[in-house]
Amino acid sequence: MALASPITTHFVLGSELIGQETIERGHINQTYMSVVQKDGEIGRYIYQHINKSVFPDPPRMMDNIKAVLDHIHAKRGTAADCLELVANADGSYYFKDEDGEFWRCYRYIEDTSSYDIVPNPEVAYQAALAFGSFLNEISDLPTDGFHITIPDFHNTEFRLRQLDSALANPVAGRLETAAAEIDFVNRHRELGSRLMHVVENYPEAVRIVHNDTKVNNVLFCGDGKVGKAVIDLDTVMPGTILFDIGDLIRTACNAAAEDETDLSKVIFNKDHFAAIIRGFAESTGPSIHPAEWDAMPYSGAVITMTVGIRFLTDFLNGDTYFRTHRKNQNLDRCRTQFELVRQMLDSADELERIVMAERDRLA
């Protein structure tokens, strides 16, 4: 799907589209950057086509995003260095086109960069600080005011049930191809309850969290040294901070690409793990529940396992959820996740010492 000029004019009224490019990032929504001219001035904007297969009720998702951004803008007194939605002509923050497809628009945040692979512990630390500061800013938002955009998003046991359904009716030939990965899941099913135990038994620990803290969802200042803005708020909804810590560990502690085909390049970086724990502890430490501290050493392994299960399920189902660009890409994504999980579990004692030392330092 291409970005058409009428889409831009629905948000930036009276503007002329003079350039655009596709942003090849993310597995779900299609993203474009446009250059428009209005009243003789040039501006850049981000447009996204919202994937209704993943987000079946875009208006409710946009309600969540608007609530978070309004809250942050009010606290800061400015929208600078933060996502800023652009209103449609009718005042809403999404546009429904003639095909029933939903679009939204953000102002482009200038002078920023992002990382897909983290080069050093300082970047991992700064990413954790950025996400932790974001969580602090929204910590007083009531959870009952938010819609559940994707039910059971990080519920590993639910994802295991989805996998079991896929195993019962896989695309022809794929069961055999993924035999080793299926065996890995079956040997580690006990991980499924570790984080949901906190959500289900400690309601006071549940808060609004980001839920998709991939490292490339932090925009850094132009020099790449300091986190500037947290982006991709589609999944802001109630959860535990462990979801956010775990997903950053998954993406910032891997020395290779998410879909690396040479698993010898997949190396879990424990220095990056320590930097992430320190960054979250320094930015959100007092609000972390004791049960969350106890489960934190396994947060990376559980979230990484969960994401790997989702990739595996989608592979068995015929690649219907995550966008793919080559054969077996979802299976390669799955294999990378499971190799990270294996290394995390092998280092479990050391990871626990790192977490407990940080907890004790704050005591």
- Residues 134 and 68 sit within 8 Å (Cβ to Cβ): no
Q: Which amino acid is at 142?
A: P
Q: Can you tell me the distance from the alpha carbon of 216 to that of 27, in angstroms, rounded to the nearest whole number?
A: 13
pLDDT of residue 80: 82
pLDDT of residue 37: 87
Please write the tens of the pLDDT for every residue from 17-27.
888 888 877 66
Of the candidates 114, 341, 156, 117, the one whose C-alpha atom is nearest the C-alpha of residue 243 is 156
Q: Can you tell me the distance from the alpha carbon of 215 to that of 116, in angstroms, rounded to the nearest whole number?
A: 7
pLDDT of residue 53: 87
- Residues 28 and 150 sit within 8 Å (Cβ to Cβ): no
Please write the tens of the pLDDT for every residue from 258-299.
999 999 999 999 999 999 999 999 999 899 999 999 999 999
Report the mean per-residue pLDDT for the chain: 93
Distances 52 to 149, 150, 191, 357 between C-alpha atoms, Å: 11, 11, 30, 44
pLDDT of residue 3: 54
For the record, the structure tokens of 11 come out as: 């948000």
Q: What is the pLDDT along the chain (363 residues), one digit of tens a residue?
A: 555 556 777 887 777 788 888 887 766 778 888 888 888 889 899 999 999 988 999 999 999 999 999 999 999 998 888 999 999 888 999 999 888 999 999 999 999 999 999 999 999 999 999 999 999 999 999 999 899 999 999 999 999 999 999 999 999 999 999 999 999 999 999 999 999 999 999 999 999 999 999 999 999 997 778 999 999 999 999 999 999 999 999 999 999 999 999 999 999 999 999 999 999 999 998 999 999 999 999 999 999 999 999 999 999 999 998 889 999 999 999 999 999 999 999 999 999 999 999 999 998
Q: Can you tell me the distance from the alpha carbon of 357 to that of 340, in angstroms, rounded to the nearest whole number?
A: 23
Q: Can you tell me the distance from the alpha carbon of 185 to that of 190, in angstroms, rounded to the nearest whole number?
A: 9
- Residues 259 and 322 sit within 8 Å (Cβ to Cβ): no
- Residues 19 and 32 sit within 8 Å (Cβ to Cβ): no
Q: Which amino acid is at 199?
A: V
Place of tokens 């959500």: 199
Domains located in the chain, CATH noted: 5-110 (3.30.200), 121-362 (3.90.1200.10)
Query: Phi and psi of 18, rounded to 5°?
Result: -115, -5
Dihedral sign (CA 217, 219, 224, 227): negative
- Residues 334 and 181 sit within 8 Å (Cβ to Cβ): yes
Q: What's the pTM? A: 0.94
Q: Which amino acid is at 342?
A: R
pLDDT of residue 56: 93
